Structures are given as C-alpha cells and as structure tokens.
A and B are shown apart, each in its own frame.
Chain A
Amino acid sequence: MPYKDVALHREAINAARRKRYAELRAAGVPPPKPQTESAKEAANRRAKAWRAANPDKVRAYKKRKYWEDPDKARLKQRERVDKQAAKARSRAYYRSNREYVTQREAAYYRANPEVNRAANRRCAERLTDGYIHKLDKTLPPELYEVKRVQLLIKRQIKEMT
C-alpha cells in the first residue's frame, strides 16, 4: 500500500474513533480510566493469577519462584557469582602454573589411556597441529621430538597424494 493510502486509511480510522468517542460522551458514558500498568505487567499479573489457580499445571522451574522469594533469588545470584569467581580463579591458576598443569594433565592421560581415546584417535587421523603439539600428553617425553617429525612427514605425504 503506498504511503499516501496508508495515511488516508489511518486518518479514516482516527476520524471513526473520534466520532465514536463523541457519541459515547453525548450518551453520558464516563471516559476510560488511565492505564496504570504496562502490557507486560498485565501479562505477568494474569500469568501469576493463572499459576495460583492451576498449581498442578505449573512447570517445575516456575515453581522455584526465584522472582518471588528474595532469599532464593539471592542464593541464585550468589551461585552465579561463585561460579564466575571459580572460573576466574581456575583460569588465573592455569595461566600462572601452565607448565605444572600441562605436566599433570600429561601424567593423567598417560596413566589413563582409555580416557578421550576416541577423540585422540580422530585428531590423530586428521593429524592437526593441535594433535602434533599435544603429543607429550600421550607419549613418553623421550619420543616426543621424533614422533613429531614422523607425523609431520605423514601429513606431508597425505597432502601430496
């Protein structure tokens, strides 16, 4: 619809509305009360009333009522903050003790060869740089250098054929 037609259409709607309001005023109907809550607030109020009337249909995560119980809300917020703090601490620790962490991981993977075996095999098949650099996690350190060269050659051959 061209803009001109849209404007005319709106004007027609507004004119009809004005006419209707004038008729209502003439008939002595009181004007509507001013709106005190937004559409979202009204929807929330209706949903809350519905939940109160139908407790058996309320889903589990709604039953927790974090938004109604300030203690629960605070607990949830604290959990979130704790989680973030733990993550930050772990990251800081890893950064400041990178060598130790890598060695510990290497020892773990050497002691538990069945862990992550499928992922390691997939990486080995792809012969990615990541895999070649991570070799010290699965290999004895004495063989690291030579295995790395061997895999580089293998990848080169793969690319050439």
Chain B
Amino acid sequence: MKDDVTSFLPLSPAALHILLSLAADDLHGYAIMQEVARQSQGKYKLGPGTLYDNLQRLIQRQWVQELGRRPAGDDPRRRYYSLTSLGRGVLAAETARLAGVVREARLRLQMAKPRRA
C-alpha cells in the first residue's frame, strides 16, 4: 500500500493544495478555491477548470470522495468533497517527502552559508 502511495509522488502543486485544503474540513469546490488562495497567501490561484480537472483525477484514484449530504439551505448545485483515508495517507507521504526535502535544503543552505560568508 505504501509503495502504491509513493509511486504517485511527488504531487502536482494543484493536487497538493486541494488535498491540503480538504484535510481540515469537507469543502465544496468554491471553498476549495478560496482555501487554496488563503493557504498560499493569494499567490496560487486555482481556476475552476484546473480544480475540477484535478478533483476528477483525485476522485478516480479514490483519494477524495464526494459526499452525499450537504448543509440545508446551501446552493443545491454545490457538492462537498472530503479526503479518504487513502488520500490522507498520500498527503502524509507527500508531506513527509516534502519535509525531507526541506530538511535537506536547510542543511545544504546552512552548509553553504559559511562558504559564502
């Protein structure tokens, strides 16, 4: 299972942001877009085309699932998405990978600093 998950890594920025935004809460598409914008401080803006293109792939890989229920009084066109356990695993694996990358990067940058100085 673990091997399966790692074979999809690294994730594309869009996929990573979507998984990340769904990690805290179940959201609908528009909320995902807003959450992604918030996460990146408005630097990464996801258009609906890209969002749903990624969502359909994530759904197909069963990392994300569509929820049947929605809050009363909401726009009936909206659908809510949540992370599956598999998706959560993938996100964790990606986070771990990124952590490794960051650690490695910090290490290299620290090593480089004295040289430069």
Co-complex (A, B): no
